Amino acid sequence: MTHLTSVDYLVILSYLAATLAIGLWVGSYVRSGSDFFLAGRALPWWAVGMSLVATDIGGADLVGVGGDSYRYGIVMGNFAWIGCVPAMLVAAFVFIPHLWRCNVTTIPEYLERRFSVQLRASVAAVWLVLMACNLGVMLLASAQFMSELAKWDMSLSIVGVAILVGIYTWSGGLGAVVYTDVLQGIVMIGGCLMIVVIGICDLGGVESFIDKVHAAVHARARQAPAPAPTMIDEPSSVTRAKEKLRLTKTKEREREHLSLVLPVDTKSPGPWPAILFGLALVMSPGYWIGNQRIVQRSLGAKSEYEAKAAYVYGALLKGLIPFLVVVPGLIALVKYPDLAADQAGGALPMLVGRLLPEGLRGLFVAAFLAALMSSVSSYLIAATTIYVNDFYRRLYRPHADEGQMLLIGRWTTAGFVLWSVCVAFQMMSFGQSIYSVFQTLMSFVVGPTLAVLLAGMLSSRTSSEGALVGFFAGLFTSVSLFTMNLLSVRTWLDMPPLFRIDAPYLYYSIWAFLATICMTIVFSYFSRPDPAEKTRYSLWEWREEGGAA
Amino acid sequence: MTMLHWIGDALRGQLLLVPLPAVRWLFIGLLLALMAWVVQLPSSETTPSGRHSAWYEDLKIWAWLALMFQVLVYSVF
């Protein structure tokens, strides 16, 4: 991307100032721990809904999905369509209202009410470690992308973003994070919409754009290497058969670029079993029901109805997101069709640099910063909430009052900011691959957490022992599969890869989920049922008794 | 080759047999099933409690719209 002008910087500074002002304004109303961690349970549906969407789209996703859609096509849209909307709606009407009624602050807290303190501490510890490390990784990824996008100094970016996000999260807690997310969501959607509109107009309108995408995809599919010529004369029937096979493959590749449903043997990261079973049925429900980063917002909603409405509103917005993040990749494909596979990640920055005029480039960088900051702040408040509620208050100071909780919440936030800056600097030498490794590690926990949550909510027969064993069995499964699929391990063991796609994290999540469910059922069957004060937190018994809180 | 490879290959072989148009209908069927579920939800679950609500406050409508859009998308692409 080309350099930014003073007008661009003015736009970026205005955005940053507005973010800080909103965060500090919300912070002026924070008086207690409850205000800090759940925004006093006073958040309106529209703010929570926009915050859900803004949190879900990270800066790395913005650039990454653009690059992946350049390379693989619209299959990346699955991550926001079937990979979000169905799970969000089921969560809206079944699981989120239940968690809201239980009046919990964290997912691990619910797990203690339904199961045991051991499960609460285990789930909280695993999530806390991953979130704390991910904070540093997100900061580093932000700095790397800002360096590529606008040639900003990486160290300054790390410290700058950390301080800014730290100040408004320290001041206003969840409320500040949610209300700044609203601004960040608007800037993000506006910035991406601008690229889409300008890009499509530049290509001669919607119809012309569609024709050109088809032509570019066709040309790209034909570029695939032809079969190697044979040294001996082969019969013409064999030559014809080879040519027919080549044409069939070309048509398949062309269809794949513009299809959401891809075959099992596709090279893209979205073969249909991974999308349907891994993404739609495990990762997505795990994300929207069992991820503290996401669920915490709806727990802070004004009422049960507002919590549901936020998820439904978020689902409506998610329907539009692929048009904003996938279409720029296709525009780049038409304009710069000759990028190599490893250059595809630069497609969006290239588009921004060459397509947008002065001022609007600044708006896009602001949109990108917005996506980064909303991700970092969501990790920050979630990690702080888990540490303070599931460890400090639960194990160390059970009688801490609201004032103490606020104080410790703020200081923990500051501690995590400092920690994340140190981790980011420490990881600078690892390069960008560390980001994808941590994303994969996060995916390990989603399947087991979802499985124990569902087992606890949907069945009163699930026992505490069964859930605890199941959770660790799931973790063990995903970690084992990941380890066995590493190139170095495979070479050492002299065996072929377990999975045939590049990033099989969706498959890890399926197997981890299944392992957790199986072990939970088996161990629950052989152990004593939980007492009534535990099983009353399952969905069905809660309704029969008319409330357990 | 380990036991895991054998299981994986067997599953992969079976999944390869499923024709893509059938898979597309599976995706759309899942969404249609959810639409049917949303429609039959009781009003008490989808409207604000304790007061009279306007038609646009019924979350069923918006959830149904979100799913309808998904059905359209998966039918076209």
Q: Does B13 map to a domain?
A: no
Q: Do B27 and A305 touch (CB under 8 A)?
A: no
The answer to whether A347 and A70 have CB atoms below 8 angstroms apart is yes
Q: Do B73 and A265 touch (CB under 8 A)?
A: no
Of the candidates A307, A318, A328, the one whose C-alpha atom is nearest the C-alpha of residue A68 is A328
pLDDT digits (tens, 9 = 90+) for A202-232: 888 888 888 888 888 878 776 655 555 555 5
A:254-273 residues touching chain B, CB 8 A cutoff? 258-261, 263-265, 272-273
Beta strands in A229-307 (DSSP E): none
Q: Which residues contact A415 (CB under 8 A, 6 or more apart)?
A: none
pTM recorded for the entire structure = 0.88
Listing DSSP states for A499-513 in one string gives -SSS-THHHHHHHHH
Chain B residues in contact with A272 by the CB 8 A cut-off are 20, 23, 27
Q: Count of CB atoms within 10 A of residue A429's CB?
A: 7
A301 phi/psi in degrees, rounded to 5 = -70, 155
Q: Does B33 map to a domain?
A: yes
Q: Does B1 map to a domain?
A: no
Most A CBs within 10 Å, among B73, B74, B75, B76, to test the A interface = B73
Give the total number of structural domains in chain B.
Answer: 1
Of the candidates A77, A451, A444, the one whose C-alpha atom is nearest the C-alpha of residue A275 is A77
Q: Do B31 and A86 touch (CB under 8 A)?
A: yes
Q: What is the DSSP letter of A261?
A: S
| Nearest residue on chain A to B51, alpha-carbon basis | A305
- Give me the tens of pLDDT residue by residue for chain A, a chain 549 residues long: 557 788 888 988 998 899 899 999 998 999 999 999 999 999 999 999 999 998 887 766 777 777 788 888 888 888 889 989 999 999 999 999 999 999 899 999 999 999 999 999 999 999 999 888 888 888 887 787 777 777 888 888 889 889 999 999 999 999 999 999 898 888 888 888 888 999 899 888 888 888 888 888 878 776 655 555 555 556 676 677 666 666 666 666 667 778 888 888 877 778 888 899 888 888 889 889 989 989 999 999 999 999 999 999 999 999 988 888 888 888 888 888 877 766 666 777 778 878 888 778 888 888 888 888 888 888 999 999 999 999 999 988 888 898 999 999 999 999 999 999 998 888 877 655 565 666 677 778 989 999 999 999 999 899 999 999 999 999 999 999 888 888 888 888 888 888 877 778 788 888 999 999 999 999 999 999 889 888 889 888 775 454 444
Q: Do A86 and B34 touch (CB under 8 A)?
A: yes
Chain B residues in contact with A304 by the CB 8 A cut-off are 49
Q: Which residues contact A90 (CB under 8 A, 6 or more apart)?
A: A285, B34
Q: Does B59 map to a domain?
A: yes
Point out the residue among A86, A265, A280 whose CB comes nearest to the CB of B16: A265
Q: Does B8 map to a domain?
A: no
Output the CA–CA distances (angstroms, integers) from residue A338 to A81, A201, A223, in the order listed: 29, 22, 10
Q: Does B12 map to a domain?
A: no
Q: How far, in Å, CA of B69 to CA of A508, rounded?
A: 30
Point out the residue among B16, B23, B63 whose CB comes nearest to the CB of A315: B63
Predicted local distance difference test score (pLDDT) of residue A468: 95
Which domains, and CATH codes, for chain A? 6-224+247-430 (1.20.1730.10)
* Residue B62, domain extent: 19-76
Q: Does B58 map to a domain?
A: yes
Work out the minimum CA distance from A307 to partner chain B, whole angstroms.
11
Point out the residue among B38, B66, B77 whose CB comes nearest to the CB of A259: B77
Q: Does B14 map to a domain?
A: no
Chain B residues in contact with A93 by the CB 8 A cut-off are 38, 41, 45-46, 59, 63
ipTM for the predicted complex comes to 0.93
pLDDT digits (tens, 9 = 90+) for A476-495: 999 998 888 888 888 888 88
A43 phi/psi in degrees, rounded to 5 = -80, 135
